[in-house]
């Protein structure tokens, strides 16, 4: 038996199951920022439904794209600021899961967007956010499997339920927007703020 190899394997296994929560601070900031940006977007969509904001023209493009542009800017700033910080096994695993989901979202956006444009179908385009919500649930499921904390699993279930509910009301715009709003506020903004608070309490 190679003693050095066995020792290295044991150290890896200990790191894998250790209660390392350094990922919470940076991820919490990113997720809270995303929740804040998209909560504002949902509020603007609600304003459109009630006739308080224009539903077409340049304003529709602002509602559709500006929140994402703002979030991307915040994301780059947070990642750059956190560069060089120690990264544990859990941080890498959780980061890899959400990074993979982010890349998948980009591919899905191009896929659904091209089909919706070709068919001139808003219904097809509305299915894209439903899939995004379900992929968020997938990423949170990975976090739950790594940490085995019930609230992480609860967030995952919440995302799954949001995606399914939005798909069920894909042709009912008010109900669709209401479901999306509950998902963004309840399962993006709230968990992000909670993770930031937990990380701050441990600091």
In a domain, 4, yes or no: no
**What is the model's pLDDT at position 86?**
54
Q: Give how many domains the chain has, as a whole number.
A: 1
Higher pLDDT, 2 or 15: 2
In a domain, 148, yes or no: yes
Are the beta carbons of 46 and 182 closer than 8 angstroms? no
**What is the model's pLDDT at position 105?**
87
- pLDDT tens across 112-132, in order? 999 999 999 999 999 999 999
**What is the model's pLDDT at position 153?**
95
Residue % of the chain over a pLDDT of 90: 50
In a domain, 142, yes or no: yes
Three-class HEC string of the chain: CCHHHHHHHHHHHHHHHCCCCCHHHHHHHHHHHHHHHHHHHHHHHHHHHCCCCCCCCHHHHHHHHHHHHHHHHHHHHHHHHCCCCCCCHHHHHHHHHHHHHHHHHHHHHHHHHHHHHHHCCHHHHHHHHHHHHHHHHHHHHHHHHHHCCHHHHHHHHHHHHHHHHHHHCCCCHHHHHHHHHHHHHHHHHHHHHHHHHHHHHHC
**What is the model's pLDDT at position 16?**
47
In a domain, 7, yes or no: no
Centre a 10 Å sphere on the Cβ of residue 167 and count the other Cβ atoms it contains.
17
Which of 1-15, 36-50, 177-191 is predicted with the least confidence, judged by mean pLDDT? 1-15
pTM: 0.81
**pLDDT bucket at 78, cuts 50 / 70 / 90:** confident
Domain with 157, as residue range(s), is 21-202
In a domain, 15, yes or no: no
In a domain, 129, yes or no: yes
Are the beta carbons of 24 and 90 closer than 8 angstroms? no
**What is the model's pLDDT at position 80?**
80
10 pLDDT more than 70:
no
Which of 81-85, 97-101, 158-162 is predicted with the least confidence, judged by mean pLDDT? 81-85
In a domain, 74, yes or no: yes
**pLDDT bucket at 14, cuts 50 / 70 / 90:** low
Task: Please provide the average confidence, as pLDDT, over all residues in the chain.
Answer: 84
Are the beta carbons of 37 and 67 closer than 8 angstroms? yes
94 pLDDT more than 60:
yes
In a domain, 14, yes or no: no
């Amino acid at each position: 038996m190679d003693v050095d190899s066995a020792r290295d394997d044991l150290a890896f296994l200990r790191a894998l199951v250790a209660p390392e929560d350094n990922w919470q601070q940076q991820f919490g900031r990113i997720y809270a920022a995303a929740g804040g940006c998209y909560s504002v977007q949902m509020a603007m969509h609600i304003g459109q439904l009630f006739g308080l904001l224009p539903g077409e023209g340049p304003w529709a493009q602002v509602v559709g794209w500006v929140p994402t542009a703002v979030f991307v800017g915040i994301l780059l700033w947070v990642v750059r600021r956190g560069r060089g910080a120690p990264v544990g096994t859990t941080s890498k695993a959780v980061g890899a899961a959400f990074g993979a989901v982010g890349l998948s979202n980009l591919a899905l956006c191009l896929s659904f967007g091209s089909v919706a444009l070709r068919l001139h179908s808003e219904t097809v385009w509305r299915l894209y956010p439903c899939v995004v919500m379900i992929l968020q649930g997938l990423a949170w499921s990975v976090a739950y499997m790594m940490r085995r904390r019930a609230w992480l699993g609860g967030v995952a279930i919440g995302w799954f339920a949001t995606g399914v509910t939005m798909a069920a009301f894909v042709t009912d715009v008010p109900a669709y927007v209401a479901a999306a709003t509950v998902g963004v506020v309840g399962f993006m903004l709230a968990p992000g703020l909670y993770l930031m608070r937990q990380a701050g309490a441990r600091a």
